[in-house]
């Protein structure tokens, strides 16, 4: 029986989940050669929130980080997490920007691309898959796992089959909330192995205490790879620890072999880094989150949500709002809860409890109902759709959302040239997503200390929700996506309210 492969996530998801993505390249480099010789099938080092964090908090060029890590760990394939057409942001980008991003990333040393879409709309993965293939790199198509009446094993397997047809080299199950039970993990992997002829990877989080057990069940079902981290950047809201997984697999015919002395060395090293990042870590993220089990929503969403309710003076309505979330999801075709949909759905549940169902509809909810994010997994509630069509006067988007976008690369290049900034593909793609932060990176060198986190959490805390006096225009605009905290403006009974939507992956 083939041993199961481990990918290691400590340099990406491990610190994104447990230390607000604040590990610096300097903190990574001493560990990289050790990680490289351990026998991991892949090292996840890039993507997700790391690019945002490099630019916003660490004053680092993310492409330089990748090149440095590639040099320090040249043997093991390096993996990135890509949000399909959203790249590493929250809105759709034109195809030419997505293509340029992947080409630049491949040239900088990226080997494997984990590509997902929050709605599992495969049209939002098509350009990325095609471009990764054209660059001769590995395209791993991800299934965003969630629970709902329409998210059956059969439905996920259908998406897996489609991703295989689209040219993916492997399939990933991405359980971002850590709500995949061992039994369903077993069934899902069994069915995928039966219907899809590609290697299968399972990625989970131990948030609800299910992660390691889900891995064991998936390994029994024949999963090819699971993703583990290194303690203390492991367990809790991150991936199960490598040493822990090895102990759980002791005596198992598929147990892989790792040098315990080197694992111990890595643990000691990362314990030091964890202490250095103590401002950004929290004991709450290290333990099993019973609320996640109870409400079946991502752990990060819950902590953000408590803050948001408190700011709205609705702390006593927590249970009611939680109970409203499945209703909002159902009306939106059982949309998965992952950035940014988790915050959008949560905010609408709060509005429904406060003012009555659909008395106030958030702009982003209208956008989802109109298909601007892509095709939802189920059907949009007809009553809600009618309301949104009347309110906005817009027509539903029929095609792929990115089809409506004009090519942008030459415009970006011209803008950068006018500002006297670099105009290569790397510069263009970073500037397209993080214009302010990118410009800051190229300011004359000033020693900038890393910004302090507002709260120690796996995701940046939701900023205050100030109620601003009434604006005359009833149509709020979504603000420009400027990084890990995305701001939305809602108008409620003539009062304009800004809502922060924070990173969750």
| Shortest Å, Cβ 450 to Co ion | 23
Residue number with CB closer to Co ion (237 or 352): 237
**Burial, 357: exposed, middle or buried (Cβ in 10 Å; 0-12, 13-18, 19+)?**
middle
Residue nearest to Co ion (CB): 13
Query: Max alpha carbon distance in the chain (Å)?
Result: 69
| Shortest Å, Cβ 162 to Co ion | 22
Residue number with CB closer to Co ion (13 or 289): 13
| Shortest Å, Cβ 204 to Co ion | 8
Contact between 142 and Co ion by CB under 5 A: the answer reads no
d(CA 177, CA 187): 18
Residue range at the interface with Co ion (CB under 5 A); choices 12-20, 145-153, 312-320, 408-416:
12-20
Residue range at the interface with Co ion (CB under 5 A); choices 9-17, 120-128, 268-276, 373-381:
9-17
How many CA within 13 A on the CB side of residue 134? 13
| Shortest Å, Cβ 177 to Co ion | 9
Residue number with CB closer to Co ion (13 or 381): 13
Residue number with CB closer to Co ion (83 or 400): 83
| Shortest Å, Cβ 503 to Co ion | 12
What does the buried/exposed string (b/e) look like for 302-329 if buried means 16 or more CB atoms within 10 Å of the residue's CB?
Answer: bbbbebbbebbeeeebbeebbebbbebb
Residue number with CB closer to Co ion (50 or 352): 50
d(CA 487, CA 272): 35
CB 438 within 8 A of CB 430: yes
- Tokens for 341? 């949909």
Site for Co ion in 35-94 (CB under 5 A): none
Residue number with CB closer to Co ion (228 or 352): 228
Q: How many residues bind Co ion (CB under 5 A)?
A: 1
Neighbours of 132 (CB within 10 A): 27
Reading phi first (left if > 0) and then psi (alpha if -120 to 50, else beta), residue 380 is in beta
| Shortest Å, Cβ 238 to Co ion | 8
d(CA 433, CA 445): 22
- Residues 447/44/338/178 CA torsion (nearest 10 deg): -120
Residue number with CB closer to Co ion (47 or 346): 47
Residue range at the interface with Co ion (CB under 5 A); choices 10-18, 65-73, 262-270, 308-316:
10-18
Of 89, 92, 98, 93, which is closest to residue 481 (Cα–Cα)? Answer: 89
- Tokens for 370? 């109109």
Q: Whats the size of the chain, residue-wise?
A: 505
Residue range at the interface with Co ion (CB under 5 A); choices 5-13, 216-224, 363-371, 395-403:
5-13
- Tokens for 454? 């507002």
Residue number with CB closer to Co ion (8 or 59): 8
| Shortest Å, Cβ 18 to Co ion | 11
Contact with Co ion (CB under 5 A) among 11, 13, 166, 434 = 13
Query: Which residues lie near Co ion (CB under 5 A)?
Result: 13
């Amino acid at each position: 029986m083939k041993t199961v492969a481990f990918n290691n996530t400590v340099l990406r998801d491990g610190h994104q989940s447990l230390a607000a993505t604040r590990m610096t390249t300097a903190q990574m480099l001493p560990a990289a050669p050790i990680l490289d010789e351990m026998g991991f099938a892949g090292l996840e080092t890039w993507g997700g929130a790391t690019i945002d964090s490099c630019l916003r908090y660490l004053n680092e060029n993310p492409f330089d980080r990748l090149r440095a890590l590639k040099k320090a760990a040249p043997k093991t394939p390096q993996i990135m997490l890509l949000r399909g057409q959203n790249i590493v942001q929250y809105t759709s980008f034109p195809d030419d920007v997505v293509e340029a991003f992947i080409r630049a990333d491949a040239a900088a040393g990226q080997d494997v691309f984990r590509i997902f879409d929050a709605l599992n709309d495969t049209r939002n993965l098509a350009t990325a898959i095609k471009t990764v293939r054209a660059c001769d790199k590995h395209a791993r198509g991800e299934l965003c796992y969630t629970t709902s009446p329409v998210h059956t094993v059969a439905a996920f397997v259908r998406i897996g089959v489609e991703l295989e047809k689209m040219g993916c080299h492997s399939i990933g199950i991405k359980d971002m909330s850590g709500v995949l039970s061992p039994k369903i993990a077993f069934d899902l992997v069994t069915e995928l192995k039966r219907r899809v002829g590609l290697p299968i990877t399972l990625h989970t989080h131990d948030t609800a205490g299910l992660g390691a057990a889900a891995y064991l069940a998936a390994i029994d079902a024949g999963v090819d790879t699971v993703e583990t981290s290194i303690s203390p950047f492991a367990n809790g809201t991150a991936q199960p620890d490598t040493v822990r997984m090895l102990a759980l697999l002791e005596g198992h015919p598929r147990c892989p072999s790792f040098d315990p002395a080197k694992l111990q060395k890595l643990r000691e090293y990362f314990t030091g880094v964890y202490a250095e990042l103590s401002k950004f870590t929290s004991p709450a993220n290290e333990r099993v989150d019973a609320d996640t089990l109870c409400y079946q929503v991502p752990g990060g969403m819950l902590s953000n949500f408590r803050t948001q309710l408190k700011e709205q003076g609705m702390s006593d309505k927590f249970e009611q709002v939680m109970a409203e979330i499945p209703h909002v999801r159902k009306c939106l075709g059982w949309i998965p809860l992952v950035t940014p949909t988790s915050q959008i759905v949560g905010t609408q549940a709060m509005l429904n409890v406060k003012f009555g169902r659909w008395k106030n509809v958030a702009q982003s909810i209208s956008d989802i109902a109109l298909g601007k994010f892509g095709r939802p997994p189920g059907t949009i509630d007809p009553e809600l759709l009618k309301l949104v069509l009347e309110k906005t006067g817009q027509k539903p988007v029929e095609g792929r959302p990115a089809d409506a976008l004009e090519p942008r690369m030459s415009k970006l290049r011209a803008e950068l040239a006018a500002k006297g900034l670099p105009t290569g593909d790397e510069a263009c793609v970073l500037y397209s997503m993080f214009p302010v932060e990118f410009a800051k990176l190229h300011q004359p060198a000033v020693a900038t200390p890393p910004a302090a986190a507002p709260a120690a959490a796996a995701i940046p805390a939701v900023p205050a929700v100030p109620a601003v006096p009434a604006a005359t225009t009833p149509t709020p605009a979504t603000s420009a996506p400027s990084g890990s905290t995305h701001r939305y403006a809602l108008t409620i009974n003539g009062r304009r309210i800004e809502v922060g939507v924070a990173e969750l992956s």
